[in-house]
Amino acid sequence: MSGEHRNATENKAMMKICAFIVDKRNLFFLLFALAIAFSAVSRGWVGVENSISAFLPDTTETRQGLSVMEREFTTFGTAKVMAANLSYAQAQALAQRLEAVEGVSAVAFDDTQEHYHNVSALFEITLDWDEADMRCLDALEQVKGVLSGYDAYLSTSLGNTASETIADEMSVIIVYVAIIVVAVLLFTSETYAEVPVLLLTFVSAAVIQMGTNFFLGTISFVSNSVTIVLQLALSVDYAIIFCHRYREEHEVLPAREAVIVALSKAIPELSASSLTTIGGLFAMTLMQFKLGPDLGIVLIKAIVISLLTVFLLMPGLLMLFSGLMDRTGHRVFVPKIPFVGKLAYATRKIVPPVFLAAVIAAAVIAGDCPYVYGYSTLTTPIQNDTQIAQQMIEDNFGGSNMVALVVPAGNYEAEGQLLRALEDREEVDSALGLANVEAMDGYRLTDRLTPRQFSELLDLDYEAAQLLYAAYAASDADYAKIVNGLASYSVPLIDMVCFLYDEVDQGYITLEADLRGTLEEAYEQMNNARLQLQGEDYSRMLVYLNLPEEGAETFAFLDELHALAGTYYDGTVYVVGESTSQYDLCKTFERDNSVVGVVSILIVLMVLLFTFKSVGQPILLVLVIQGSIWLNFAVPALTGRPLFFICYLIVSSIQMGANIDYAIVISSRFGELKRTMNHRDAIIETMNLAFPTIITSGLMLAIAGTLIGRLTSEAAIAGIGQCLGRGTFISIFLVMLVLPQILLLGDRVIEKTSFSVSLPLQSRSASGSVRLDGLVRGTISGEIVGVVHARVKGDVNVNVLPGEVTEGTEDRHEET
C-alpha cells in the first residue's frame, strides 16, 4: 500500500471514529454522568497516607525498623500539653485533673525546668491504648474539655488532623483557582459560551480523577492535595486547543461537521503534545522514594483522563452549546505584542550569549541548593493549630530528638552495658530501656533477684517465694537450679513479677488482698514498660539526642550508634527515628536526583526529535527549559532558604514535561511562518499568535502553584507550590523573551541538523472542492477559504510536504 493511500485510509477511519463520537454524544453524556456519580462517591473511599517515611524504599533502615517495631512493640498514644500563665500550684492541680481523665494512664509533670518554665507548664500525657486505637481520640476530647478556660496548646500525632487541615486549605485554594481560571478564560476566549464548555470539561475530568484514585488503594497526602489543581493547570491546553480548532473549522463548516473535522485533527495533535508532559511525569515513577511514583502515577492518570474527557465528552458539549457560542461572540481581549518580536529580532545576537552565561552560573549555584530532608528547619507562610502548639512548646521547653535503638531481645546484661555507654556520649541527653528503668525500692526492671530478695521486696513468705522460683525454673526447663538449690537462683525482677501475676491470675497461687493489690500495681507498670520496650525477638531503647534532627554531624553519629550497638550484639540492629528517616531520604535523593533529571530530559528530547525531525531544535528547546529549572533552584541557593528535597524532584519533572509545551508552541509557529515570510516578520507574527496560548495555560499553572505555596501550612506541599509557581513564571519569561532570539540565531543549526528534508514530496493535482492539510508549495487557482488548513474551490497543482490533499471534501461532509 502506498503512503498516500495509507494516509487517506487512516484519515477516513479517523473521520468515522470522530463522527461516531459526535453522533452518539448522548451515549457519552450518560457514560460520563455515571462515571462522575461513581467518582463522587468513591473519592471518599480513597486511603490517604500522611507519613513521609511510609514512602521510603523497603530496603531502607527506617522502613525495616518501623516494620519490626509495629510487629514487636506497642506504642501508646501520647500528647504534650503546654498551659501558659499559671502558677506552679495551679499547674499541679491541673495535672491531677488530667490524670483523672478516663483513658489517661499517666501525666508526667514536676517542678524541673523540663516541665515548668516561664510561668508555663508542660504535661506529657500517656494514654491507656495503642496510638492506633480510636479510644485515644475520645480520651483526647476529654483532655481538651479539661483544658478549656486555660491558655493551653496541645500537640499530638494522634488522629488525622493533618489530612483534615490540608483538605480544608486546598478547598480554599481550589475556590481561588476556579475564580482565576474563569477570569483568564473570559479574557482569552472569543465567545462567552465557550467558557461553560471548558469548565464542564475541566470539572468532569477532575471529579473522575479524584474518584478513580480509589483503584490505587492508598495515595500520598501530596497526591491527594495538589493533583486537582495541577491537573487543571497541566491539561487546560487540551480543551482550549480543541475549542480553537472548532472555531476555525466552524468558519466554513456547519457545527456538526466542524466538530468532527476539529476532533480528527485534535486527537493526534493533542496525543502527541501530551507525550512531553507524560514523559516528564514518567521520570518520577522511577524514583526509589515512593512519593515520586505515587504522584507521577496519579498525575499521569489525570492527564489521560483529561485527554479522554476532551475527546469523548467535549465534542458533545460543543454541539450542545454551538448555537449559544455563535450568538455570544466578542472581541478578543488579548492584545497583539509585535514589540516582543521586534525586540527579539533586534537582540538576536545579544540575548543568547547572555542567557548561556546566566544558565551556566545558575547551574553552578543551583548545585549548592540547601536541600533538607525533614520539616524541622522549614517554615510555611501560614501555620495551623498543631504547628502553633508545637512551636510554642519548643520556644518554652525546647525540642527533642529521639531515636529508637532496636536490638535482639533476651540479653539484659548487654542492654544495661549499652545504655551506660550511650549515657556517657556527649551527643546523648538520656537513654531509656528496660535495663535502666527503676521499678521498686531502687531495683531496676532487669535486676536479678534471689528468692529472699524477692520475698522481702513484695513482703512475700520466703517459702512461698522458693516455691514460686521452683515453678519458674520448671517452666523455663532449668531443672538444675531446682536440684542444686534455689537460694542462689536469681531471676530478673520484671520476669518474676509477670510470672507471679500469671500464676495468681490462673488461680495457682492465692495472695492476700493487700499483697495482690501491690502485685497488680507493679504488674501494670512493668507490663506497660514491657509492651513498649520488649518484644518477642527484639528490645527497644529510646535514645534522646542533643543533636539537630538532620545534618552531617547527626548523620555521622547515627553510623557511630550502629557501630557502638554492634559491639554488644551480633544480630541485626536498627536505629529508627526522624533523623534516620531523613538520613535514608538523603541517600535516596542522590540516586533519584540523577535518574529524574536524565530520564526526563531524554524522554522529552526523543519526543521532540520525532516531532520536529531535527537534532538541533530539541536541544535548544530543552536548554531553555533546563535553564529555567536551574534559575528556579538557584533562588533558594542564593537566599539560603532551606528547600525540602522532594520539591526539586517533583517540580523539575513538571517543569521539563509541561513548560516545554510553551517552547514547542513558539518553535512550531516560527517553523511554519519562516517558510512564507522573512525571519523578522515571522518572529513578530509568531509571538502574536503564540502569546494567547502561553499566557492562558502559563498563567494558570503559575498562579495555581503560587496559591498552593502561600495558602497551605504543609511544608512539602507549600514548597512544591512555591517552586512550581516561580519556575513557571521563569519559563514564561524565557520562552517569550529569550527563546525567540535563540531560534533566530540558531536557525542555521536547526536547518543543518534537520532530517525532514529527505522526506519525499507528493506531487498532486486536483480540481473541484479540495481540502489541503499540511505544508504545501505550489500554485492554486480559485477561491481559498482558510489560513493553514484550506478548502479550495478551483484547480490545485502543488507539492505536499508531510500532509494530504483530499478531493471532494465538501461532498463528503454533506453526505455525512
Do both 695 and 811 map to the same domain?
A: no
**pLDDT, tens digit, 9 for 90 and up, residues 310-360:** 999 999 999 999 999 999 987 777 888 999 999 999 999 999 999 999 999
**Residue 80: predicted pLDDT:** 92
Do both 123 and 267 map to the same domain?
A: no
Measured distance CA(621)–CA(740) in Å, rounded: 11
Question: Residues 255-284: what's their mean pLDDT?
Answer: 87
Where residue 794 falls among pLDDT bands split at 50, 70, 90?
low
**Residue 317: predicted pLDDT:** 96
Looking at the DSSP bridge assignments, the partners of residue 155 are 80
Where residue 800 falls among pLDDT bands split at 50, 70, 90?
very low
Which CATH number fits the domain that encloses residue 727? 1.20.1640.10
Measured distance CA(798)–CA(790) in Å, rounded: 13
**Residue 805: predicted pLDDT:** 53
Do both 146 and 170 map to the same domain?
A: no
Report residue 442 as a C-alpha cell.
531502687
Greater confidence (794 vs 168) lies with: 168
CB of 202 within 8 A of CB of 239?
Answer: yes
Measured distance CA(172)–CA(712) in Å, rounded: 9
CA 548 to chain centre: 25
CA 410 to chain centre: 41
Asked whether residue 662 is assigned to any structural domain, the reply reads yes
Where residue 771 falls among pLDDT bands split at 50, 70, 90?
low
Question: Is residue 762 pLDDT above 50, yes or no?
Answer: no
User: What is the extent of the structural domain holding 245?
Assistant: 3-43+163-312+334-373+584-752
21, 27, 200, 312 from 317: Cα distances, Å? 11, 12, 8, 10
Measured distance CA(141)–CA(720) in Å, rounded: 34
- Comparing 8-22, 390-404, 695-709, 713-727, which segment has the lowest mean pLDDT? 8-22
**Residue 675: predicted pLDDT:** 84
Asked whether residue 388 is assigned to any structural domain, the reply reads no
β-pairing, 538-545 vs 428-432, is antiparallel
- Comparing 118-127, 269-278, 749-758, which segment has the lowest mean pLDDT? 749-758
Asked whether residue 113 is assigned to any structural domain, the reply reads yes
The total number of structural domains in the chain stands at: 4
**pLDDT, tens digit, 9 for 90 and up, residues 206-240:** 999 999 999 998 999 888 888 887 887 777 778 88
Q: How many residues are given for the chain?
A: 816
**Residue 768: predicted pLDDT:** 57
Do both 343 and 482 map to the same domain?
A: no
- Comparing 199-208, 417-426, 504-513, 805-814, which segment has the lowest mean pLDDT? 805-814
**Residue 761: predicted pLDDT:** 41
Question: Residues 487-493: what's their mean pLDDT?
Answer: 87
Question: Residues 484-495: what's their mean pLDDT?
Answer: 83
Phi, psi of 315 (to 5 degrees): -55, -40
**What one-character DSSP code corresponds to residue 659?**
I
Do both 282 and 192 map to the same domain?
A: yes
309: Cα within 13 Å, side-chain hemisphere: 31
Q: What angle do CA 454, 456, 457 make, to 5 degrees?
A: 65
**Residue 758: predicted pLDDT:** 43
**Amino acid at site 273:** S
Measured distance CA(599)–CA(578) in Å, rounded: 30
**Residue 358: predicted pLDDT:** 95
Where residue 813 falls among pLDDT bands split at 50, 70, 90?
very low
Measured distance CA(13)–CA(3) in Å, rounded: 15
CB of 476 within 8 A of CB of 465?
Answer: no
DSSP 261-324: HHHHHHHHHHHHHHHHHHHHHHHHTT-SSTHHHHHHHHHHHHHHHHHHHHHHTHHHHHHHHHHH
**Residue 792: predicted pLDDT:** 58
602, 624, 626, 668, 743 from 751: Cα distances, Å? 22, 19, 22, 14, 11
Question: Is residue 809 pLDDT above 50, yes or no?
Answer: no
CA 18 to chain centre: 36
DSSP-derived 3-state class of residue 480: helix
CB of 684 within 8 A of CB of 661?
Answer: no
Asked whether residue 320 is assigned to any structural domain, the reply reads no
CB atoms within 10 A of CB 510: 10
CB of 739 within 8 A of CB of 619?
Answer: no
Do both 534 and 637 map to the same domain?
A: no
CB atoms within 10 A of CB 787: 8
**Residue 200: predicted pLDDT:** 93
Asked whether residue 478 is assigned to any structural domain, the reply reads yes
pTM for the complete prediction?
0.79
159, 183, 199 - which closes a domain: 159
**Amino acid at site 431:** A
Do both 124 and 196 map to the same domain?
A: no
**pLDDT, tens digit, 9 for 90 and up, residues 674-700:** 888 899 999 999 999 888 888 888 888
Do both 362 and 252 map to the same domain?
A: yes
**What one-character DSSP code corresponds to residue 69?**
H
Where residue 559 falls among pLDDT bands split at 50, 70, 90?
very high
**pLDDT, tens digit, 9 for 90 and up, residues 699-710:** 888 888 899 899
SS (H, E, C) 19-47: HHHHHCHHHHHHHHHHHHHHHHHHHHHCE
Do both 36 and 169 map to the same domain?
A: yes
**pLDDT, tens digit, 9 for 90 and up, residues 45-70:** 998 888 888 888 888 999 999 999 99
Question: Is residue 772 pLDDT above 50, yes or no?
Answer: yes
**Amino acid at site 730:** I
* Mean pLDDT of the residues in the chain: 86
Which CATH number fits the domain that encloses residue 120? 3.30.70.100
Give 663's contacts (C-beta < 8 A, 6+ positions apart).
621, 624, 625, 735, 739
Question: Residues 754-760: what's their mean pLDDT?
Answer: 53
DSSP-derived 3-state class of residue 485: coil
Do both 735 and 807 map to the same domain?
A: no
Do both 531 and 610 map to the same domain?
A: no
Measured distance CA(181)–CA(183) in Å, rounded: 5
**Residue 811: predicted pLDDT:** 42
**pLDDT, tens digit, 9 for 90 and up, residues 367-398:** 999 999 988 888 888 888 888 888 899 888 88
483, 518, 547 - which closes a domain: 547
β-pairing, 538-545 vs 151-155, is unpaired
**Residue 642: predicted pLDDT:** 94
Do both 254 and 357 map to the same domain?
A: yes
**Residue 683: predicted pLDDT:** 93
Measured distance CA(545)–CA(376) in Å, rounded: 15
Report residue 586 as a C-alpha cell.
538523603
State the helix-helix crossing angle for 291-312 and 255-284, rounded to 10 degrees: 170
CB of 498 within 8 A of CB of 522?
Answer: no
Question: Is residue 10 pLDDT above 80, yes or no?
Answer: no
Question: Is residue 435 pLDDT above 70, yes or no?
Answer: yes
If residue 781 lies in a helix (H) or strand (E), which one and from where to where?
Answer: strand 762-786
**pLDDT, tens digit, 9 for 90 and up, residues 292-308:** 899 999 999 999 999 99
Asked whether residue 385 is assigned to any structural domain, the reply reads no
369: Cα within 13 Å, side-chain hemisphere: 24
Sign of torsion over alpha carbons 532, 80, 67, 563: negative
**pLDDT, tens digit, 9 for 90 and up, residues 648-660:** 988 888 888 777 8
Asked whether residue 63 is assigned to any structural domain, the reply reads no
104, 138, 159 - which closes a domain: 159
User: Which segments of 118-220 does DSSP mark as H helices, in order?
Assistant: 135-147, 161-188, 194-212
CB of 698 within 8 A of CB of 660?
Answer: no
Expressed in percent and rounded to 5, the helix, strand and coil fractions of the chain are: 65, 15, 20
Report residue 277 as a C-alpha cell.
508532559
CB of 419 within 8 A of CB of 436?
Answer: yes
**pLDDT, tens digit, 9 for 90 and up, residues 594-623:** 888 888 888 888 888 887 888 888 899 889
Which candidate, 108, 98, 109, places its Cα nearest to that of 143?
98
Asked whether residue 570 is assigned to any structural domain, the reply reads no
